[in-house]
Amino acid sequence: MYQPFNEFQIELRELVRNFTRKEITTEVAHEWDEKNQHPKALVTKMRKELGINGLCIPEEYGGMGCGSVEQCIITEEMSRGCLGITLCFGYTGLGMLPILKGASKEQATKWLEPVISGDHGISFCLSEPGAGSDAPGMKTTATKKGDVYIVNGTKAWVTGGGDADAYTVFAYTDKNRGNRGVSCFYVPRETPGITLGKKEDKFGIRASDTRQIIFEDVEVPKANLIGRENMGFVYALLTLNTSRPYIAAMGAGVMQAALDHSAKYAREREQFGQTIASFQAIQHMLADMSISLETAREITYRAARMSDAGDPNLAKFAAIAKAYSGEAAVKCAMDAVQIFGGYGYTKEYPVEKLVRDAKILCIFEGTTQIQKNEIATYAIKESASSKN
């Protein structure tokens, strides 16, 4: 039988699948969506009981030394339960990536130890109110003054912002050099001068705490400069290339949930004296969902394997995986609502939440349009260098 995963990966999938089935039920997902709150106790349980906080952290820093494939496996499984709660647990997976990309061994060991023990979360602070797709349009600055940098600016849309214990913050250290003048800093939350903005009242992933983080004359020691000065934008791009397959895995998890709910409902709901599963129109929607899900899985795990192998074409495939899986997840979730009919349009049933949650996959970590820009750049470059 076709089996894309090794024994360890299958065990890992079972561990997270079983935890999700027990702890992130439809009722729990609905409760935190309604409350519009970060489920602190549940996240603590995930951090302390699952034992996977250090999954993708190299062994030399005290982690488990796994890679993107394993990260995608756990992300897909959790997302079947609730995408919002997945992000409450998983925001550190993004926030710590600049450390993995740029920090010295000494820095990484120190900052990642509390992540591995499950005591710390780290949020990723790149976007700003006026700089989303155009990240180099950021205004935040870090001005060197003796042994410290003084950071000023406002970061927007910070996932996990209200829960995090530290932030990886991108700021200009040399505005004249454009994106080659951006540096990245590790900034503990208790540093004086940091204020939390109010939690955004979002369409979906409502459990996930998203907010602005405001930096006013925040003194960051030189020792907290991640890697080298003016290399921050490189670390940001490397981070996003690594994390985009994780977003694609979230899409696969949402699609699996949409298919699970829809197929079960179609087998149970009767109209015209027969189950709606007997109508070909419904069967075709289920078939389309299956096609999208399996296609998304293939491209997601391909990108993850390329990431683990250090493949130079990762950026193209990470963008394809994210663009495809995000858009397909929205379509699948919409089809699930259609299969549920009027009931699907209410909060009594789980599928309207899937639509609201899935939409973020087309927006954060680079919108679908930005992924397509990247993919098109490859297509044009490849055409120019081909002999045809």
The CB-of-209 to ligand FAD minimum distance in angstroms stands at 10
Burial (Cβ within 10 Å: 0-12, 13-18, ≥19) of residue 11 = exposed
The token pair that represents 249 in the structure block: 């895995």
Which is nearer to ligand FAD, 62 or 136 (by Cβ)?
Answer: 136
| Strand 270-271 to 274-275 pairing | antiparallel
Q: Identify whether the C-beta of residue 223 lies closer than 8 Å to the C-beta of residue 190.
A: no
Which is nearer to ligand FAD, 103 or 158 (by Cβ)?
Answer: 158
In the bound state, the residue with its beta carbon closest to ligand FAD is 132
Which amino acid is present at 326? Answer: G
Dihedral sign for Cα atoms in the order 207, 371, 320, 328: positive
The token pair that represents 240 in the structure block: 């996003």
d(CA 32, CA 85): 8
Tracing tokens 């488990």 back to the chain, one arrives at 64
The CB-of-169 to ligand FAD minimum distance in angstroms stands at 10
Which is nearer to ligand FAD, 112 or 122 (by Cβ)?
Answer: 122
| Catalytic residue (choose from 76, 77, 352, 365) | 365
CA angle 338–342–347, rounded 5-degree value: 100
Which is nearer to ligand FAD, 184 or 263 (by Cβ)?
Answer: 184
The CB-of-205 to ligand FAD minimum distance in angstroms stands at 6
The CB-of-127 to ligand FAD minimum distance in angstroms stands at 3
Q: List b or e across 101-117, with b for residues whose CB sees 16 or more CB atoms inside 10 angstroms.
A: bbbeeebbbebbbebbe
Would you give the distance in Å from CA 242 to the centre of its chain? Answer: 10
Rule CB under 6 A: which residues touch ligand FAD? 123-127, 132-133, 157-159, 202, 210, 360, 363-367, 369-370, 373
Which is nearer to ligand FAD, 251 or 344 (by Cβ)?
Answer: 251
The CB-of-339 to ligand FAD minimum distance in angstroms stands at 27
The CB-of-23 to ligand FAD minimum distance in angstroms stands at 23
d(CA 268, CA 275): 6
Q: Identify whether the C-beta of residue 28 lies closer than 8 Å to the C-beta of residue 42.
A: yes
* Residue 14 among the catalytic residues: no
Which is nearer to ligand FAD, 151 or 293 (by Cβ)?
Answer: 151
Which is nearer to ligand FAD, 140 or 262 (by Cβ)?
Answer: 140
| Strand 122-125 to 166-172 pairing | parallel
The CB-of-160 to ligand FAD minimum distance in angstroms stands at 7
The token pair that represents 72 in the structure block: 């995608």
d(CA 279, CA 300): 32
Which is nearer to ligand FAD, 86 or 262 (by Cβ)?
Answer: 86
Which residue in 253, 277, 240, 289 sits closest to 72, CA to CA?
253
SS3 124: strand
The CB-of-125 to ligand FAD minimum distance in angstroms stands at 6
Dihedral sign for Cα atoms in the order 87, 89, 95, 96: negative
User: What DSSP string runs through 35-61?
Assistant: HTS--HHHHHHHHHHS--TTTTS-GGG
Query: Would you name the residues annotated as active-site residues?
Result: 365
